[in-house]
Amino acid sequence: MSQIWANTIDISEESCPSVKNILLLDSEGNRVAVKYYSDDWPTNSSKEAFEKSVFTKTQKINARTEAEIAMFENNIVIYKFAQDLHFFVTGGDNENELIISTVLQGFFDAVGLLLRGNVDKKEALENLDLILLCLDEIVDGGIILETDANVIAGKVASHSVDSGAPLSEQCLMIQFGVKQTQFLDFKLDSAAKREQFGH
């Protein structure tokens, strides 16, 4: 009986939801920050070719208000754009699209919080260390660790603590960033609805 029980709860890394890469590209398809967690692209040139192909396939789609999905080279690619930045998360074709979408949204929102609503290439490059820490908090070795933007931003902020600023001030700045991002999302959503209904 114990043998049957052991076989039914066999949990391995293969059964955990995972992603193959997370890409942050600029509006021309150039790298801002990327992390690969799969051997599907063994060389730097194959990674760059994948990035260019994904960018080319998605650049004409308006993915500014909601995330979009595409199948590409037997992979699910979920993507969303903000200003001059393009966010992508890739998973295998057997992965759950909603989980990959949640990873993308967590990354997108955490970057918005960390950049205090100024989500553009210039800010991203000036705060590249925060974005790379953000990636590390979301995924480790392809396994999804966290998708809640507030938790991700909080952990990243604790890693990059300004020794001169009191902790309470840092918490307030993170909360301010959360509220500012929520307000901007509300304004964009309202504008999109007005445009959709012709008001």
The torsion defined by the Cα of 106, 110, 112 and 114, in degrees rounded to 10, comes to: -170
Which is more confidently placed, 115 or 165? 115
Tokens 């999804």 belong to residue: 144
Residue 5: pLDDT over 80: no
Residue 11 scores a pLDDT above 50: no
For residues 136, 142, 148, 153, the Cα torsion angle rounded to the nearest 10 degrees is 10
User: pLDDT per residue over 56-98, tens digit each?
Assistant: 999 888 877 788 999 988 999 999 999 899 999 999 999 999 9
Contact 75/20 with Cβ under 8 angstroms? yes
The domain ranges of the chain are 19-162
**Average pLDDT of span 116-142:** 92
- Taking the C-alpha atoms of residue 10 and residue 5, their distance in angstroms, rounded to an integer, is 9
Domain 19-162 has CATH 3.30.450.60: yes
Q: Does residue 107 surpass a pLDDT of 60?
A: yes
Whether residue 106 is predicted with pLDDT greater than 50 in this model: the reply is yes
Alpha-carbon distance of 117 to 177, in angstroms, equals: 7
